[in-house]
Homo-oligomer: A and B are copies of this chain.
Amino acid sequence: MIRFDSDYIEGAHPSILDALVRTNFDQTAGYGEDPYCSQARETIRKHCLDETLGVQFLVGGTQTNVTVIDALLRSYQGVISADSGHINVHETGAPEATGHKVLAIPTNDGRLSLTQIKECFENHWNDHAHEHTVQPGMVYLSFPAENGLIYSKAELTEISEFCHKNGLYLFVDGARMGYGLQAEGCDVTLSDLARLCDAFYIGGTKVGALFGEAVVFSDKEMQRSFRYAIKQHGGMLAKGRLLGIQFQELMQGGDNCLYFTLAKHADTQAMRIRRAFEAKGIELWNNSVTNMQFPLLTKAQQEALGKEFIFEYWGKHDDERDIVRFCTSWATRTESVDALCSAIEKL
């Protein structure tokens, strides 16, 4: 069986393992205060074209989301999110466990629009009884969204402007950041994100690392205190250098860095899958240009493909068809996609 059910089914890119082996017996201080982390921070700041940014490393996505949310928000504030946002549906209430309600907004396409954010914000403050409801303190977006769609630079810019004019933090979940940045038609860069957001992260776990998320932030209070928040939320890795080593390996080399190369590969393979379905006349649920593709398949089609491939049931679409997800990754072999495409052709 060949797995296309997620983008974290293998280990790490071999050059990352090599780096870990190579540095294994170096002796360093713990908790991310080692030379490898310093170097990786520098490398990331260069991508962002801003030497003043804070950069810290955490192990996983949920941990990163709640640490950022809890570090930035006041106790009586909540976070505006698409109702399909990861923090709202797949984190076992982790934000709420830190005291912050997710202000979940239904969306048309899994992405928050300026109009929706504005409406949520204005409804709150126009309500005479606003203090009986949670004060919006932050906008949370995923780039790309849970359904693979991305935001344009223009969209992010107008959301950022609205947020900053109105005292809202803008936080971008980048668990699949690479796959978004390298997608066809994407006009957003790391330096755009660094400029437009108060905090965002570069997801390593799903893009070539064993694990690890690099949080980038400009917020002053986070610059002073984010490491407290990491420790308090159990996210401070004793051998922090493991994160620095991995991110240095991924991000060094500017626009040709491994992170971008791996992500590009996954996007390319995903678009091959997309086109195979399209060629077969099988409709896709949305216009994802990233590493997740969502064909609408009948039970018979699912059964046929299910003989060789593992993919994920995403939901019922209509009486005939379900939405299913095919995921590529940095580790997806071209031959696996060849096999899938030819199986699609034979449906």
Contact = CB atoms under 8 A, between A and B. Distances in A.
Interface of A: 2-3, 6, 8-12, 14, 17, 20-21, 23-31, 59-67, 70-71, 73-76, 78, 89-94, 96-101, 129, 131-135, 205-206, 210-211, 221, 225, 227-239, 242, 331
B27 A3 contact: yes
Task: Indicate the member of A8, A11, A17 with the most B CB atoms within 10 Å.
Answer: A11
Task: Indicate the member of A9, A31, A92, A230 with the most B CB atoms within 10 Å.
Answer: A92
Contact of A23 (B11, B205, B331): B11
B12 A24 contact: yes
A38 to B, nearest CB: 16
Contacts of A239: 8, 11, 205, 210-211
9 contacts: A8-B238, A9-B30, A17-B17, A25-B331, A66-B234, A76-B232, A93-B134, A97-B233, A205-B238
Given A10-B26, A26-B10, A211-B242, A93 B100 contact: yes
Given A66-B234, A92-B232, A93-B101, A71 B76 contact: yes
A232 B97 contact: yes
Contact of A76 (B89, B100, B210, B228): B228
A164 to B, nearest CB: 17
Copies of this chain present in the complex amount to 4
B234 A60 contact: yes
Nearest to A235: B234
A70 to B, nearest CB: 5
Given A91-B231, A210-B242, A234-B234, 13 more contacts: A31-B132, A60-B238, A63-B235, A64-B234, A73-B75, A75-B99, A76-B225, A76-B228, A76-B232, A91-B132, A93-B99, A99-B99, A131-B231
Contact of A90 (B29, B67, B132): B132
B227 A131 contact: yes
Q: 3 closest Cβ contacts across the A-B interface?
A: A63-B234, A11-B24, A93-B101
Contact of A21 (B17, B60, B63, B94): B17
A275 B57 CA distance: 40
Contacts of A73: 75
Contacts of A20: 11, 17, 210
A71 B227 CA distance: 21
Nearest to A34: B9
A173 to B, nearest CB: 13
A96 B94 contact: no
